[in-house]
Amino acid sequence: MKYIIMAGGNYKDQFETPKPLLEIDGEKLIERTIRLLRKNNITDIAISTNIDVYNYLGVEILQQEHEYIHDNPETNLKSNGCWLNAYYLMDEPCCYLHGDVYWSEEAINKIVNAKVENTMFICIPDRQDGRSGYNIKGREPLGYKVQNNKMFNDAVNEMKKMIDEGKFKKDPISWHLYRKLNNIKMVFDGFGNDIFHTKGDYITIEDYTTDIDMPRDIPKIEKYLKLMRGELDMVKVEVIEGFTLGDYQKLQNIVRKGVDIPGGLFVGDVFECDEDMAKYLTGGNKLNKVVVKVLEVIPKEDISPKDTKAESEKIIPLDEENLKTIAEQVNKAVKKTTKKKTSKK
């Protein structure tokens, strides 16, 4: 099967470089994707693009001929300028991977080993659009794995025909293609990204894999990688009021008191998180709501040079004194809450 990294379009309205060439943790996104594919014994790798910057990578270039420019509605609502052109249509089984994604090793391994009958939608839980709760609605598209090329190619071409007929009010994206492939009622004036009302074949990546939407996403990912490597202080907390958390995957060493529901935390549950998450959960959120109490601060482990990307890399220490202050404030807040409840009774 051919693996095609989709790297077309121009995103210079948000970034100074094409998104697949953005660097995270010392490695460009597209270079990381190629490296992880090769690590999984994938040798048939290609890049689908309409710009000339990827020749240095030593893989096949599938040169697109279209006019797509990111966030240009006048051009994108024509078949030759729509985002769907990023799917370089093939006559052989292939896997399309979005080029602006920071993939985990586990995600690429899962995709490579996934069995697909016709078409498989690759996605992650949508945590970036501000919805409350966890996975209530939507998925973030990361690509397709295609076995039935005729089915896939016909759907793309039919979508382009619909674009030229003026049916879409917004540039159609992966979600519209998903609906077309699975005979779901089309949404012409929005994204239509509600996977729970559809029945198509899909694979969900449930880890730190994420696409890059804005420049601010990069430091968030790099911080999470430091957290995973044990390069950040951790805070051990206990839940005092149940809640759901979109960034659930960032929690470590969760000890459940009762039910185990991904994304849901319940009274008595204990877990470890970083300083920013601790601040957020102890009142630093929009509602100023305290939902956990701090039990202890766990200093980061000593990281030897062999465990870091470079001996010269600086690790900024966190303010332990500040966390002690947070713990005191939280405990005071808990006492006040307890007194109020007692007085009502």
Q: What is the mean pLDDT of the chain?
A: 79
Label residue 299 by pLDDT band (50, 70, 90). confident
Overall domain count for the chain: 2
Alpha helices in the chain (DSSP H): 29-39, 73-76, 105-113, 149-164, 174-181, 217-228, 275-281, 320-344
41 and 189 together in one domain:
yes
- The whole domain housing 330 covers 229-344
Final residue before a domain boundary, out of 211, 245, 263: 211
Q: Could you tell me if 268 and 258 are in contact, meaning their C-beta atoms sit under 8 angstroms apart? A: yes
Q: Among 179, 211, 243, where does a domain finish?
A: 211
pLDDT of 316 over the 50 cut: no
**Same-domain pairing of 50 and 165:** yes
Among 211, 241, 270, give the residue marking a domain's end.
211
CATH code, domain with 142: 3.90.550.10
Is residue 169, in this structure, part of any structural domain at all?
yes
pLDDT digit string (tens) for 17-74?
A: 888 999 999 999 999 999 999 999 999 999 999 888 899 999 999 988 776 666 666 6
Any domain includes 224: no
Whether the model pTM is above 0.85: no
190-205: pLDDT as tens digits: 777 766 566 678 888 8
CB 211 within 8 A of CB 101: yes
Size of the chain in residues: 345
So what's the pLDDT on residue 90?
94
Same domain, 65 and 130: yes
- Separation in Å, CA 196 to CA 35, 135, 251: 33, 10, 25
